[in-house]
Structure 1
Amino acid sequence: MNSALKELLDLLDLEQIELDIFRGRSPEERIQRVFGGQVAAQALVAAGRTVPADRMVHSLHAYFIRPGDPAVPIVYNVDRVRDGRSFNTRRITAIQHGKAIFSMSASFHISENGLEHQTVAMPPVPEPESLETFQQRMLDVVGDDPAWREWLSKPRPVDVRYVHRLPWEAPADDAGAPVVSDENHVWFRYEADLPDDPLLHVVLAAYASDFTLVDTVLLAHGRAWGAADISGASLDHAMWFHRPLRADEWVLYAQESPWSGGARGLARGQMFTASGELAVSVVQECLIRVGDDVTKS
């Protein structure tokens, strides 16, 4: 287990400061705002600690309200909305500087037998071991830039491998126009033998789910983060957990963007186990501003 993954697991081990009140922190690094996947994962940890161990999260619906401040702790208040015979419902609010920065509703369900079907197939993609890592591919993009190369040399908690081109590679066609794509498939895996705690694995899936969804919207326009004329953020996030998965085994995250407009974009994702089972469905709406609109609040 590398140092970055150890740090992430430590961030997810929230401090309980009162009944249904938890405190989390952010990584000790220079970032402008807290990563949305971190807040969603910590909120899910807080909720999961208030339900019986035989109840697993089956859905969550979240809103990113304000940018998180990485310099101060985040307080998570959990509201026990309902404790039923089969379902538990929780409402979680993340607070900084006396204001809500994030809210989530999560529903937990006991394990039950029922009708089963899966009509969607995992896309035919190369095996993850045949693909270069994100860091290897980005080295070709950044060239000799020392700051970027130093950043890429740092360990990461999760191994991400793009099936298609990186957003930053942005090839152009013969006429000079950017090549666009409405698909963005990535493999990911946390490189360690993790504990068998089912909540930990869905929390890590939630953390990874926010990595590349906005990229998927930008790929549909041949654009990428980092350009001076582009700004944006995640607005809301929904996940449905269909079956157990292990975050320390390869997961294919197949994503697409069916629509964008009005400075917003929609991205959808499906997480498949390496054997082709649909484990998680994800939908996110994001804010994307271009040109003179990037400075609006």
Structure 2
Amino acid sequence: MNNPADRLVDLLDLEQIEVNIFRGRSPQESLQRVFGGQVAGQALVAAGRTTEGDRPVHSLHAYFLRPGRPGVPIVYQVERVRDGRSFTTRRVTAIQQGRTIFNLTASFHQPEQGAFEHQLPPRIEAPAPESLPTVVEEIKEHLGALPEQLERMARRQPFDIRYVDRLRWTAEEIKDAEPRSAVWMRAVGPLGDDPLVHTCALTYASDMTLLDAVRIPVEPLWGPRGFDMASLDHAMWFHRPFRADEWFLYDQESPIATGGRGLARGRIYDIEGRLLVSVVQEGLFRPHTPRPMDTPTPDA
């Protein structure tokens, strides 16, 4: 399975081992902990597999409690909290080696005809995604070639990421930078036609760059890290149907960073400017302690 998009779909295809219990793979990778977007996406799959009828997820709220270990399976236990006439609620606990590492509550809503609609327009007018360089192209332009570990990571990357503003590499470029970031993203290949797969794939992607906005005034996004980062919690609201294998604009900002924590907000638009998803996440930032095999990565 060489296509990273196919690998993502396979990663989200959980094994059901009991009525409300599922098991997900955790790839053996060089990362120090399992990518948080993977756990969130798999937990949402588990929740969705226990619902019936046409009730897409409309919101999720999650906490990252402990780092997951790469290469070790994760068990997802689903509690069927409520099955109402219009709403379904599920609570998911992710367990690895007998310890809870993550929990998520997801709400599903049967589509209704609203009495009214409105949305704020996108904050920026972004260039067309095809006109922008990929992350790999920008790094190669700056460094001349990709470091070996980044080369391996790039080959596994299931999403094409293109920053609307060119990456900053020097202290002068970072000086006075606002805590904002925007990227175009889409899966690198088709994800099939299951709406739940697209929702869970976008949940995976939503954790990849959101904390960039916190770091932008402080350090280059793809240089050596001065801070250890970890996602603390994650919330999403899904407003409209979408496909994660079509371009979407992820506009991100950080209203505050204090006390070792940084808050980031994101708005996800389709290429026509329709607001699809709203995201909020808080991250933990501590002075970096060098470890063997450190590598700059975009995940939390």
TM-score in same-fold range (> 0.5): yes
Does 1:165 pair with 2:162? no
**TM-score normalized by structure 1?**
0.91
Shift, 1:182, TM fit: 1.8
Distance change (3 Å), C-alpha of 1:172 and 1:236: same
The one-letter amino acid paired with 2:135 is F
Change (3 A) 1:151 1:194: closer
- Distance in 2 between the 1:120 and 1:262 partners? 31
Gaps in structure 2 of 5+ consecutive residues: 292-300
What amino acid sits opposite 2:78 in the alignment?
V
- Equivalent pair of 1:87/1:108 in contact (CA under 8 Å): yes
Structure 2 match to 1:36: 36
Query: What per-residue deviation string (whole Å, max 9, x for no partner) do you get for residues 202-260 of structure 1?
Result: 11110100001111100133454663531110000000000101111100000000000
Deviation at 1:183, TM superposition (A): 1.4
Structure 1 Cα separation of the partners of residues 174 and 3 of structure 2 = 41
Deviation at 1:190, TM superposition (A): 1.1
Contact 1:180–1:222 (8 Å) recurs in 2:
no
Deviates more, 1:191-200 or 1:252-261: 191-200
Instruction: Report the Cα distance in structure 1 between the residues aligned to 2:181 and 2:27, rounded to whole angstroms.
Output: 27
Distance 1:188 1:134 in 2: 11
Query: Cα–Cα, structure 1 residues 292 and 150, in superposed 2: closer, same or farther, change >3 Å?
Result: closer
From the superposition, tell whether residues 292 and 2 of structure 1 become closer, same or farther in structure 2 (CA, over 3 Å). Answer: closer
- Give 1:153 deviation, angstroms: 5.5
Aligned to 2:57: 57
Q: 2-side partners of 1:28 and 1:222: how far apart?
A: 29
C-alpha separation in 2, matches of 1:136 and 1:293? 27
Following TM superposition, by how much is the alpha carbon of 1:79 offset from its aligned partner in structure 2, in angstroms?
A: 0.2
Q: Do the aligned residues in 2 keep the contact of 1:2 with 1:157 (CA within 8 Å)?
A: no
Q: CA separation of 1:71/1:259 partners in 2, compared to 1, >3 Å: closer, same or farther?
A: same
Q: Secondary structure at the match of 1:213?
A: coil
Q: Which residue of 2 aligns with 1:85?
A: 85
Q: Would the aligned equivalents of 2:231 and 2:282 in 1 still touch at CA under 8 Å?
A: yes
Distance 1:186 1:117 in 2: 26
Matched, 1:141 2:142: yes
- Does residue 228 of structure 2 align to residue 227 of structure 1? no
Write the distance in 2 (CA, Å) between the matches of 1:24 and 1:96: 10
1:119 Cα shift? 3.3
Q: Report what 2:200 is aligned to.
A: 203
Find the residue that maps to 1:200 and give its secondary structure: helix
Counterpart for residue 188 of structure 2:
191
Aligned AA for 2:228? S
Q: Is the 8 A contact 2:175 2:217 kept in 1?
A: no
1:64 deviates by 0.2
Q: What is the alpha-carbon root mean square deviation over aligned residues?
A: 2.2
Q: 240, 243, 254: which one pairs with 2:240?
A: 243
Aligned to 1:7: 7
Q: Is the 8 A contact 1:57 1:106 kept in 2?
A: yes
1:121 and 2:121 aligned? yes
In 2, Cα distance between equivalents of 1:258 and 1:161:
23
Structure 1 residues 259-268 or 116-125, which shifts more? 116-125
Larger mean Cα displacement after TM superposition, 77-86 or 116-125 = 116-125
What is residue 259 of structure 1 aligned with on the other side? 256
After superposition, the C-alpha distances for 1:269-295 in whole angstroms (9 at most, x for unaligned) are: 00001111000000000001126799x
Q: Structure 1 residues 148, 141: CA separation in 2 closer, same or farther (over 3 Å shift)?
A: farther
TM-score, normalising length: structure 2:
0.90
Q: Which moved more, 1:223-232 or 1:274-283?
A: 223-232
Q: Distance in 2 between matches of 1:132 and 1:86?
A: 44
Change (3 A) 1:91 1:248: same
Say which SS state the counterpart of residue 48 (structure 1) adopts.
helix
Matches of 1:193 and 1:225, distance apart in 2: 28
Task: Flag the 1:125–1:50 CA change in 2: closer, same or farther, 3 A.
Answer: same
Aligned to 1:55, the other structure's residue is in SS state coil
Q: What displacement does 1:148 show?
A: 4.7
- Aligned AA for 1:279? L
- Segments of structure 1 that go 5 or more residues without pairing to the other structure are none
Of 214-223 and 230-239, the range deviating more from structure 2: 214-223
Contact 1:36 1:210 survives alignment (8 Å): yes
Give the distance between the partners of 1:291 and 1:147, measured in 2 at CA.
Answer: 22
1:119/1:211 CA distance change after superposition, 3 Å: same
Identical-residue share of aligned pairs (%) = 54
Contact 1:4/1:157 (8 A) holds in 2 = yes
Query: Which residue identity does 1:286 align to in structure 2?
Result: G
